[in-house]
Amino acid sequence: MNDASAAIAYLGPAGTYSNEAARRFAELLGTSEDALDACTTFTDVFDAVDRGRCPYGVVATENSLEGPVTATLDNFAFNSNAQILGVHIVDIHHCLITHPDTDLSAIDTIASHAQGIGQCRRFIVSRFPNAQTITTSSTAESVRVAMKRKNVAAIANAYAAELYGARVVERDIEDRFGNQTSFALIGRPGTQVELPSGPRKTSVALFLREDRAGTLNMILSEFAYANVNITMIQSRPTKQALGQYMFFADLDAAIEDPALQTALNCLRLKLREVKVLGSYPIV
């Protein structure tokens, strides 16, 4: 990492889909790719931003097949004050990758990030019905495992295979066409960035005063009365007691929108906390 003032933390190692998103944000921010800082987990990315080691971070937020990335949601809700500055959507094209000398008949293990395995489940069952699956910290890490163990095939992108000298056996092995993951650029509160302008969305975390009948309906009604479209709503445990939940919501409006401000102010009177995670463009 050559320029700490412009560093972008991401889930490493090099060759992950997070790396691809970080490279795109680096391009938009005018930052050198040499300044990208690989982290071991999404929690480490948040920590790098919160502690000021890197001004920016990139974290996966949602996959079109597997849904929200819960590690990211939990960090936003409980561990971090980082704000979403922008979102970039990456088309996911998984490949089956092995050591160049691997004989496919010797493959007894398929390695990838949990999301990668989940997104290629039908392919794995049809092509390697007797293979076990192991999860790695990232898709790129699974390629590094495959390069050390010739009985292991990795699920990752072609860029990772190129980086580590591996062989792409088969491309586009994901179970469904149109597989996409959204990645958020995050920064400390007050961070200003220049990204392409366009329609903006706002993400919020909503914490209940108490669990009672009608609470979700009340939340939905406030946004409906304000004519604010909810594009995603997701419940997560509060980690305090079994059966206690909070909600995340993505809203089709900028934070400056008076209608959205009205809805959020009404919710602040009725909920324990309304935490705005960011108002941002899709780039």
Read off the pLDDT of residues 168-216 as tens digits, 9 standing for 90 and up.
999 999 988 888 999 999 999 999 888 888 889 999 999 988 777 788 8
Kindly calculate the radius of gyration of the chain based on its CA atoms and give it in whole angstroms: 20
**Can you list the domains of the chain with their CATH numbers?**
4-92+179-187 (3.40.190.10), 95-171 (3.40.190.10), 200-281 (3.30.70.260)
Which residue is listed with tokens 């993400």? 203
Q: What is the pTM of this model?
A: 0.83
Contact by Cβ (8 Å): 274, 264: yes
Read off the pLDDT of residues 216-264 as tens digits, 9 standing for 90 and up.
899 999 999 999 999 999 988 877 767 678 999 999 999 999 999 999 9
